[in-house]
Amino acid sequence: MSALGLPASPNLEHLKNEAKELLASFRIHDAKAVRRVEAALRLTPFPPTRMLRLSDAQLVVARDYGFASWPRLRNHVLRIAKSPVQSSIGGDPEALAVYREMIAAFRAAQSLSFEIRSEHRYWLADESVTGMTRLWLSKPNQLRQESFDSSGALYATSVVSDGRLLGYWYGKRPKYEGEEEDAYQRTCENAYYQRDVDMGSTYPFLNDTAQVLRMMPFIQAVEPGLFFRREPPRNRLIVAYRSYGTEVVDGQICDIVEIEMSIETPHRSTRIWIARSDRFPRRAIETWAGAMEWTTTEEWRNVSPIAEMPDGTFRWEPPDGWTRWSLAPDAGLIAPGTPAPDFDVALLDGGKLNPAKLRGWKVALALGWGWVAAW
């Protein structure tokens, strides 16, 4: 794939701004922008009933530079950016040392409190989700997590103590796909969630719990569970460490380290601003590039390793009359023994397959994204 017209060292932010400027010009009917969009999208004239989105403008920019899609242009730029001055094949030893110092800081702290302000941006859909999480951690096995929505309203809390996690909502809990309406109405208020957890496990239980309680997920390279885990998460997927100098964040001089992970075909990287004063993060940006493209930005604030936590921080018991709730593992699924519904599956050769043709056969269905092997 050629990239005629791109500079030798293309800047992804400049390309993103170019797409945004094109979108703005098109929406005020700038003639040059309209012709550029019509030519790249092969729509002449551009349908008056169709609204141009940012993802469309990004596609126009990609095609103008000789790429079939925005993700391909983006991946090309990221590959070029993989070779900063201070990097080396297999990683920069100084970057690796700083990253290990961050892990050691989590391990050494006996207690820790902080807040994380997050934004999850899905570039192709031009959508973003924001929120804030406050956490209190204490060894060996205590945690409190409070999640706030984009308006600043507290909507869910989870408390972990002695291997038991309790989570609860303020107001009605979320309704989940496949959940029967009657069951939801019976348990949508005054409900709590409970499960056993292993604080020393490498499994990212915080993100697992966040999915159930609809809390904001964490960037796993700096996920707060590092405070309890024996090993950093996903270390086996890290293929390189790089240094990107220093920057002041929230009044702290930070060393910038990027870790690159290998997960099948997408490019995944996490850039972390690690404070020199205490070696805890102050900012982290994780980027996935592939068929689905998104960026997560975390701003860590009020980071405080403290000796003791206020009384009651890790204590909560459900009030009288509250209902313990759990998401049924088979919610929305067809009951065992039920005949498969009638549907057609599109085949790679253009044909179709109907399950009725497989009656009597044992069939395994493997599902996966376009950039992740089926599992």
- pLDDT tens digits, 294-321: 888 999 999 998 767 888 888 888 899 8
The CATH number of the domain holding residue 159 is 2.50.20.10
Angle formed by the axes of helices 54-64 and 31-41, to 10°? Answer: 80
Whether 118 is covered by a domain: the verdict is: yes
Q: State whether 18 and 53 are in the same domain.
A: yes
Which range marks the domain in which residue 167 is found? 93-324
**Mean pLDDT of all residues in the chain?**
79
Q: How confident is the model at residue 127 (pLDDT cuts 50, 70, 90)?
A: confident
pLDDT at 368: 54
pLDDT at 201: 58
pTM as predicted: 0.65
Query: Half-sphere exposure of residue 47, counting CA atoms within 13 Å on the CB side?
Result: 6
Whether 312 is covered by a domain: the verdict is: yes
Q: State whether 104 and 223 are in the same domain.
A: yes
* Peptide bond connecting 305 to the previous residue in cis, omega within 30 degrees of 0: no
Q: State whether 192 and 161 are in the same domain.
A: yes
How far is C-alpha 366 from the chain's CA centre? 23
pLDDT at 114: 93
Q: State which amino acid sits at residue 142.
A: Q
Across the chain, which distance is largest between two alpha carbons, in Å? 69
Q: State whether 211 and 62 are in the same domain.
A: no
The DSSP letter of residue 374 is: -
Whether 272 is covered by a domain: the verdict is: yes
Higher pLDDT, 271 or 354: 271
Q: Helix or strand or coil: residue 295? A: strand
Q: How confident is the model at residue 1 (pLDDT cuts 50, 70, 90)?
A: very low
Inform me whether the pLDDT recorded for 284 exceeds 90: yes
Residues 135-163 have pLDDT tens digits of: 999 888 888 989 998 888 888 888 888 77
Higher pLDDT, 222 or 249: 249
pLDDT at 299: 96
* Peptide bond connecting 71 to the previous residue in cis, omega within 30 degrees of 0: no
Whether 350 is covered by a domain: the verdict is: no
Query: Half-sphere exposure of residue 332, counting CA atoms within 13 Å on the CB side?
Result: 6
Inform me whether the pLDDT recorded for 216 exceeds 80: no
Inform me whether the pLDDT recorded for 337 exceeds 80: no
Q: State whether 45 and 152 are in the same domain.
A: no
**Cβ neighbourhood burial of 315 (10 Å; 0-12, 13-18, 19+):** exposed
pLDDT at 165: 83
Higher pLDDT, 204 or 274: 274
325 is written with which tokens? 């709730």
Whether 371 is covered by a domain: the verdict is: no
- Parallel/antiparallel/unpaired status of strands 191-196 and 164-169: antiparallel
Number of domains the chain contains: 2
